[in-house]
Amino acid sequence: MLVDLHNHVLPGLDDGPTSELEAMLLIQNAVKNGVTHIVATPHHRNGQFNQDANEIKNSIHVLNSLLQEREIPVTILSGMEVHLHGEFMEELETEILTLADSMKYILIEFPTQHIPQFTESIFYELQLKGFIPIIAHAEKNTEIRRHPKKLLDLVNKGALVQVTASSVCGENGKELKKFALKLCQHQMVHFIASDAHDVKKRPFLIQQAYLVIQRKLGNEMVKYYQRNANHVVDGVEFVTLPPRLVETV
Cα separation, 244 vs 133, whole angstroms: 19
Helix (H) or strand (E) holding 107: strand 105-109
State the minimum distance, in angstroms, from the CB of residue 228 to Fe ion: 18
State the minimum distance, in angstroms, from the CB of residue 202 to Fe ion: 9
State the minimum distance, in angstroms, from the CB of residue 42 to Fe ion: 9
**Roughly how many angstroms between the first and final C-alpha of the chain, as a whole number?**
35
Q: Is residue 195 a contact residue for Fe ion (CB under 5 A)? A: yes
Cα separation, 208 vs 9, whole angstroms: 19
Q: Which of 16, 23, 37, 81 binds Fe ion (CB under 5 A)?
A: 81
Q: Is residue 139 a contact residue for Fe ion (CB under 5 A)? A: no
Tell me the per-residue interface mask from 35 to 74 with Fe ion, x by CB under 5 A, - otherwise: ----------------------------------------
Using the minimum distance from each CB to Fe ion, give the nearer residue, 14 or 179. 14
Cα separation, 8 vs 197, whole angstroms: 5
Do the Cβ atoms of 47 and 78 come closer than 8 Å?
no
- Residue 198 per-residue DSSP state: B
Cα separation, 123 vs 68, whole angstroms: 38
State the minimum distance, in angstroms, from the CB of residue 6 to Fe ion: 6
Using the minimum distance from each CB to Fe ion, give the nearer residue, 81 or 198. 81
Q: Is residue 14 a contact residue for Fe ion (CB under 5 A)? A: no
Using the minimum distance from each CB to Fe ion, give the nearer residue, 81 or 139. 81
CA atoms in the 13 A half-sphere facing the CB of 227: 11
State the minimum distance, in angstroms, from the CB of residue 220 to Fe ion: 27
State the minimum distance, in angstroms, from the CB of residue 41 to Fe ion: 6
Using the minimum distance from each CB to Fe ion, give the nearer residue, 102 or 162. 162
Query: Total residues contacting Fe ion (rule CB under 5 A)?
Result: 2
Using the minimum distance from each CB to Fe ion, give the nearer residue, 44 or 177. 44
Q: What is 27-44 written as a DSSP string?
A: HHHHHHTT--EEE---EE
Give the nearest residue (CB) to Fe ion. 195
Do the Cβ atoms of 174 and 17 come closer than 8 Å?
no
CA atoms in the 13 A half-sphere facing the CB of 52: 5
State the minimum distance, in angstroms, from the CB of residue 105 to Fe ion: 15
Biggest CA-to-CA distance, the chain? 51
- Residue 48 per-residue DSSP state: S
Q: Point out which span in 13-21, 163-171, 195-203, 213-221 binds Fe ion (CB under 5 A).
A: 195-203
SS3 191: strand
Q: Point out which span in 18-26, 66-74, 81-89, 213-221 binds Fe ion (CB under 5 A).
A: 81-89
Which residues contact Fe ion (rule: CB under 5 A)? 81, 195
